[in-house]
Amino acid sequence: MPFEAPYTFGGLPDIPWRKTRFVLLPIPYEATVSYQVGTKFAPEAVLHASRNMELYDEELEIQPASAGLKTLPGLLPERAGPAKMARTITLVAERLLNRGKFILSLGGEHSVSPPLVKAHRKFYSQLRVLHLDAHADLRESYEGTPYNHACAVRRIVETGCQVYSVGIRSLCQEESLYLKKEKPPVTIHWAHTMKPDWPEKLSQKAPAGVYYLTFDLDFFDPAILPDTGTPEPGGFFWWETLRFLRLFLQRKDVELVGADIVELAPKNFFSPACFLTAKLAYKIIGYLVAKKNLAAAKTHPARG
User: Any idea of the CA torsion for 78, 271, 6, 86, to the nearest 10 degrees?
Assistant: -20
Q: Tell me, what DSSP letter sits at residue 298? A: H
- Least Cβ distance, residue 225 to Mn ion (angstroms): 11
Tell me if 55 sits within 8 A of 44, measured CB to CB: no
The CB-side HSE value for 303 (13 A sphere, CA atoms) comes to 8
Smaller CB separation from Mn ion, 57 or 216: 216
Q: Would you call 197 exposed, middle or buried from its count of C-beta atoms within 10 A (0-12, 13-18, 19+)?
A: exposed
- Can you say whether residue 266 is alpha, beta or left, with left for phi > 0 and alpha for psi between -120 and 50 degrees? beta
Question: By C-beta, is 23 or 31 nearer to Mn ion?
Answer: 31
Residue 157 CB, nearest distance to Mn ion (Å)?
16
Residue nearest to Mn ion (CB): 135
71/214 with CB nearer Mn ion: 214
CB of 230 to Mn ion, least distance (A): 6
Dihedral class, residue 104 (left if φ above 0, else alpha if ψ from -120 to 50, else beta) = beta
Q: Which is nearer to Mn ion, 72 or 163 (CB)?
A: 163
Q: How far is the CB of 7 from Mn ion (least distance, A)?
A: 26
Residues that bind Mn ion (CB under 5 A): 133-135, 216, 218
Nearer to Mn ion, 57 or 109 (CB): 109
Q: How far is the CB of 33 from Mn ion (least distance, A)?
A: 11
CB of 265 to Mn ion, least distance (A): 11
| C-alpha distance from residue 124 to each of 100, 106, 109 (Å) | 12, 21, 24
Half-sphere exposure (Cβ direction) of 205: Cα atoms closer than 13 Å? 14
Q: How many helices (H) and strands (E) does the chain have?
A: 8, 8
Question: CB-wise, 229 or 286, nearer to Mn ion?
Answer: 229
